[in-house]
Amino acid sequence: MSDKTTSYPKEKIKILLLENISETAIANIHQHGYASIKKVAGALDEEALIKELKDVHLLGIRSKTRVTRKVLENAPKLQAIGAFCIGVNQIDLTAATQQGVSVFNAPYSNTRSVAELVIGAAIMLIRRIPDKNNAAHAGIWQKDATGSFELRGKTIGLVGYGNIGSQVSVLAEAMGLKVIFYDVLTKLPLGNAVACKSLKEVVSKADIVSLHVPETNSTKNLISKQVIKQMKKGSILINYARGEVVDLDALAAALKAGDLSGAAIDVFPVEPEKNGEQFASPLQGLSNVLLTPHIGGSTLEAQENIGVDVSAKLLGYLEKGITYGSHTVPALSLPMLEGAHRILHIHKNVPGVLSEINTALSKAHINILGQYLSTNEHIGYVVLDVDKKLSKQAFSLLKEVKHTIRARMLY
């Protein structure tokens, strides 16, 4: 079977990559024959992004760039967005769905990096290394065991037991920790981990509390002043999840009062857009506190894995119409057919569209060699393989079907 290529010349496909996306991703895109790639070091604000996206087909971002409804409505050629990170909350998914723009991310690629750092932070805090480090830098010799403990035999409480939380669970148990966890969904415990029935149960029993939840309306200020009061006296809080999850003022007050003995915070409600910009937090200057600039998943291995994963998804969609892993376009992955041209059709999910597609092609005596449909709440995604000789006519007819959002001749 001969290789298929996109009907649109590869040299005319424009790709915009922001926020220092891994060279691994760029190399993968180049290897597939795409040369029109523009790289921007940092994030762009809304107006600048709209200007840059005028003729762009693929957009790659990380966590800082906000892709709003206004941005999407002013990007007529945009086919897909690759979020080279774990989350996609920086993208207006509803607007992307309505515009028929496929959104991909890498939900598993930096799991190990974050999990290792959580364990590392737990060791540093339970041994009070930040205090001893600061004293040594100030020329003070502070060799004593007061307030320093081993991890072994302690209890770590995981709030959220998804990809990262469960990985922390495995590493923590290997270190000799007892593991308890709470998740809003029923999760199968790994190893000897024990599920708790409530957030209160976890925070009241754990010597170390580590957060692994997404940013949603229900998780905003999840660790509130009230919840912090329920935490075990002298316990430690670690947040490598999302900045809005913890009430930092309440946490600072608890640390100052000695109710908690330490904290490691990597994510914040407001974060600078670029390196070198001013950063402020109520936790600055407090004893036994580790503050890091959102680097939980920032390892070379993680960035390479993310680069490979997301670039492969973008290229799979652009060249084959594959949408597995998309947050906006229904999932389809299908084989190629010899002797056929492939057309992608995204439409509003209302009754009668598929029937209209089939009727229009039937009336024109166009033979459908393969047809695949998947829908979500808002849109339908149809992939059609049609006779090569009639594909241009079929494409013209499909663009005129009522409720069409976008149609693309793939090859």
Count other Cβ atoms within 10 Å, centred on residue 106: 26
Active site residue 242: yes
Q: Are 21 and 39 in contact (CB under 8 A)?
A: yes
Determine the residue type at 168.
Answer: V
Q: Which residues, in sequence order, are CB contacts of 87 under 8 Å at separation 6+? A: 63, 105, 214, 215, 242
- CB contact burial 158-193 (16+ within 10 A = b; e otherwise): bbbbbbbbbbbbebbbeeebbbbbbbeeebeeeeeb
Catalytic residue, candidates 62, 112, 128, 242? 242
* N residues, the chain: 411
Cα-atom radius of gyration of the chain, to the nearest Å? Answer: 25
Residue 327 falls in the annotated catalytic set:
no
Closest of 1, 67, 7 to residue 319, by C-alpha: 7
Structure tokens, 9: 């010349």
Q: How far is CA 210 from CA 119, 121, 179, 192, in A?
A: 10, 10, 11, 17
- Strands in 146-302 per DSSP E: 155-159, 178-182, 194-195, 208-211, 235-239, 260-265, 289-291
Location of structure tokens 């981990």 = 193
CA atoms within 13 A on the CB side of 384: 26
C-alpha 74/C-alpha 90 separation (Å) is: 17
Does the active-site annotation cover 294? Answer: yes
Catalytic residue among 294, 378, 403, 406: 294
Of 46, 116, 271, 304, which one is the catalytic site residue? 271
Catalytic center residues: 242, 271, 294
